[in-house]
Copies of this chain bind each other. A is one copy, B any other.
Amino acid sequence: MSIIPINNLPEIAPNDNLAQLIIEQSDCEGIKIIDGDILVITQKLISKSESRTKKLSEVIPSPKAEILSEKINRDPKFIELILSESIRIVAMDTKRGLIITETNHGFICANSGIDSSNILGDDEVSLLPINPDLSASKIRETILEQTNSTNLGVIITDTFGRAWRNGQTNVCIGIAGLHPIKNYKGLSDDYGSILTSTEIAIADEIASASELVMGKTNRVGAAIVRGYNFDNTQIGDSSDLIRDSAQDLFNKGEFL
């Protein structure tokens, strides 16, 4: 299996045809997308192409955002965006100015996934795509059409923190063309015993693998995972990766 960065993509502007730009650049780099590839794209590129950026100076904070902003000592305009992009606050550390929310999509992450890295200007932040599965699906369709492929996976990633473990990892926030979970339940292991509870979040593992070639400072926002044999008859979306809150023993965090 190989993981190939797509280097030197141009700066992405609103309404750019990202799929087209990725095809052109991968051709140009001599790594033409082929059948069976999984194309991994960071949220930042998608959000830029879908105009999911905001100028903080143009945000008007609500009274709720103002109150919270004083409590955790962060810009009320930033807090306003965090609140409007989420359905609830899951946990908070007022001393460190840390807010963990459940986003409108159901993802649990810091600051509703809003950040200002790898985006032009001090005032601008990027929000998560409104429907990352739809974004993945549209890109997949364009690429299938343009390249005469029939089998392509597309995964959109973001960098999330985790409970219990230091360091962030890339995870899947949008997917098309394959199922994000590989289910081993009922299959035999190498000794003939039936596996009872093994379900692997392959989409998150693919997202993590791609981060290793993309990094945060290399102007690489897309990569191709080649040689991973996925089952393209099983498809799903990013909601399959979200644990039902009633089943989640760590759904509620602490307010420190």
Measuring CB to CB, which residues of chain A are less than 8 angstroms from any residue of chain B? 1-4, 91-93, 98, 100, 107-108, 116-122, 159, 162-171, 180-182, 184, 187-191, 193, 195, 198-202, 204-206, 208-209, 211-213, 216-219, 228, 240-243, 247-254, 256
Is A208 touching B204 in the complex (CB atoms < 8 A)? yes
How near does chain B come to A45, taking the closest CB pair, in angstroms?
12
Is B206 touching A212 in the complex (CB atoms < 8 A)? yes
CA distance A218 to B118 in the complex (A): 40
When the two chains form the complex, which single residue of B159, B206, B213, B218 contacts A200, counting CB atoms closer than 8 Å?
Answer: B159
Closest 8 A/B residue pairs (Cβ): A167-B201, A209-B209, A163-B250, A205-B208, A91-B249, A208-B208, A163-B163, A249-B253
CB neighbours of A202 from chain B (8 A)? 167, 212
Question: Apart from A166-B201, A167-B200, what 13 extra A-B contacts exist at CB < 8 Å?
Answer: A1-B3, A1-B4, A2-B2, A92-B249, A98-B249, A117-B193, A117-B195, A121-B191, A165-B241, A166-B242, A169-B204, A189-B217, A206-B212
